[in-house]
Amino acid sequence: MNRRGKIRVGTFALAAALVLGASFALQVMEKSQAETTLSYVYQRAVNDLSGYVSGMEDALEKARYANTATAQTGLAAQLLEESSGAKAALAALPTSGENSNNINRFLSQAGDYASYLSRRLAAGSTLGEEEFNNLSSLRQYAQTLNQELQKLEERFRYGRVTMTEAKNTLQNVTEALPTFSDQLEESASAFGEYPTLIYDGPFSDHISQRTAKATSQLERLPQGNAEQAAAKFLGVESDGLEHTTDTGGGLPCYNFTHGDTRISVSKDGGLLCSISNPREVRENKLSQEEALEKAKEFLSQTAGVESVKESYYVTADGVCTFNFAWLEEDSAGNAVTCYPDLIKVGVALDNGEIVSYNATGYLMNHTQREIPEIAVSAQKARESVSPRLEIQQDPSLAMIPTPGLDETLCWEFVCKGEDGENILVYINTETGMEDRIYELIESDQGVLAI
């Protein structure tokens, strides 16, 4: 072969090698991209599954202490919804075999049992000791599964598990679950002939884009006046503030910045809506009690809000954030905590500076209320509290929001559960029925309600 032929062959060989190399590289890239995409899909499914199972555990925990048909039916509906979502999330994961069937069977039986309870309650029957024992058993399973899923969720989040490991990891999760009993399935089948039917705390999801009640009758302020009000709230000169984009909706606000600090003032009346100062807090010098006094002082002396009651708090990144609710009296002089009127105040624990403030709930809901007359006495309301709960103190009156953006007056009972849980039960003062049940979660970081 002549020199030109050798060059041509060499060129063809090189070209072929490049094509093959490029093709291989492309296949590797496509495979890597496919694995990455699939890994994201699995991670999302694990997150969803963990969230739904957590919701199941929450519903089952509260169901143990629900004592009226209304509350029990609502929790059964929540359990059915959460278990259905969990089954859909599980279907997106690479599980197979007896262990994964165990998870799916548990989720299915939890949903079936929720339907069974709903049918039983709709037929006018009451729940007995057997049903409550079954709910307790379900809760233990949900708690076990939830703990294992949270571990897996964390591994996905920090990249400690790859797509190729996902299947084995999920299989290992299921091994922590004991074999589920047929008892609940048998109970549900036996009743088949009946027809088919807490970080803001528990009272924050009612806030919507309707017109703010606290500012609806107040005069509209020019921007300059609002800027002066904002400067006064921050304790700075107004020429140091910069006006940014305003907020519309049901609570229109002027927005300003002062360095990294953002502040919002209502256009109507110039009331303080929010403050956000993202500075780093390097050390905790103040106690929770000292921080609370700083928060109360700011509310009364700067924000102009005095009649409030602190409820929950949480500490994170050197900032202790308190939830306050408006406090007023009914016609008989009884104190009533108005939970819809929510204000959150964050105190830096290094020097007591107010680094966050949010009065959206208060401004949206605060108004001159007509507190209804009490039809059900506190003593009568006690009868609606589950005998499985130990009441810790005399009940107090509380106004709580309803799903229809209304409010209802309730007796608030602070209780202890069978396992030492702190439980809040709200009994409607008009009907004597349970309106809400919440569990108080206490930790070194604070107290929250779920």
Q: Read off the pLDDT of each residue in 199-211 and give the average, rounded to a whole number.
A: 53
- DSSP secondary-structure letter at 161? S
Q: Read off the pLDDT of each residue in 132-146 and give the average, rounded to a whole number.
A: 84
* Per-residue tokens: 143: 């708690």
Q: Read off the pLDDT of each residue in 207-220 and give the average, rounded to a whole number.
A: 82
Per-residue pLDDT band at 444 (split at 50, 70, 90)? low
Residue of 119, 134, 129 whose CA lies nearest to 186: 134
Read off the pLDDT of residues 92-102 as tens digits, 9 standing for 90 and up. Answer: 776 544 445 66
Per-residue pLDDT band at 23 (split at 50, 70, 90)? very low
Q: What is the largest CA-CA distance in the chain?
A: 114
Average pLDDT score, the chain = 79
Residue of 269, 250, 255 whose CA lies nearest to 227: 255
Read off the pLDDT of residues 143-191 as tens digits, 9 standing for 90 and up. Answer: 888 887 787 777 666 655 554 555 555 555 555 544 444 434 443 343 3
In angstroms, the CA 58 to CA 350 distance is 35
In angstroms, the CA 77 to CA 99 distance is 27
For 366-416, the DSSP string reads -----PPPP-S-HHHHHTTS-TTSEE-S--EEEEEE-TTS-EEEEEEEEEE
Q: Read off the pLDDT of each residue in 83-112 and give the average, rounded to a whole number.
A: 72
CA distances from 152 to 42, 43, 58, 158, 168 (A): 11, 9, 20, 10, 11
- DSSP secondary-structure letter at 45? H
CB 298 within 8 A of CB 326: no
The single residue listed with the structure tokens 């006094």 is 293
In angstroms, the CA 309 to CA 325 distance is 5
Asked whether residue 84 carries a pLDDT value surpassing 90, the answer given is no
Beta bridge partners of 447: 313, 442
Where in the chain are the domains? Answer: 3-190, 223-365, 378-449
Asked whether residue 232 carries a pLDDT value surpassing 90, the answer given is yes
* Per-residue tokens: 254: 């002027």
Determine which of 120-134, 385-399, 414-428 has the lowest per-residue pLDDT on average.
120-134
* Per-residue tokens: 408: 């209802």
pLDDT at 22 (0 to 100): 45
* Per-residue tokens: 436: 């809400």
Determine which of 17-31, 108-122, 191-205, 299-313 has the lowest per-residue pLDDT on average.
191-205
In angstroms, the CA 96 to CA 305 distance is 58
Per-residue pLDDT band at 329 (split at 50, 70, 90)? very high
pLDDT at 192 (0 to 100): 37
Q: What is the CATH number of domain 378-449?
A: 3.10.450
Read off the pLDDT of residues 253-284 as tens digits, 9 standing for 90 and up. Answer: 999 999 999 999 999 999 999 999 989 998 99
Strand pairing category for 335-348 and 396-401 = parallel
The distance in angstroms from the start CA to the end CA of the chain is 84
* 3-state SS, residue 34: helix
In angstroms, the CA 408 to CA 375 distance is 13
Neighbours of 245 (CB within 10 A): 7
Asked whether residue 1 carries a pLDDT value surpassing 70, the answer given is no
Per-residue pLDDT band at 371 (split at 50, 70, 90)? very high
pLDDT at 29 (0 to 100): 45
Asked whether residue 196 carries a pLDDT value surpassing 60, the answer given is no
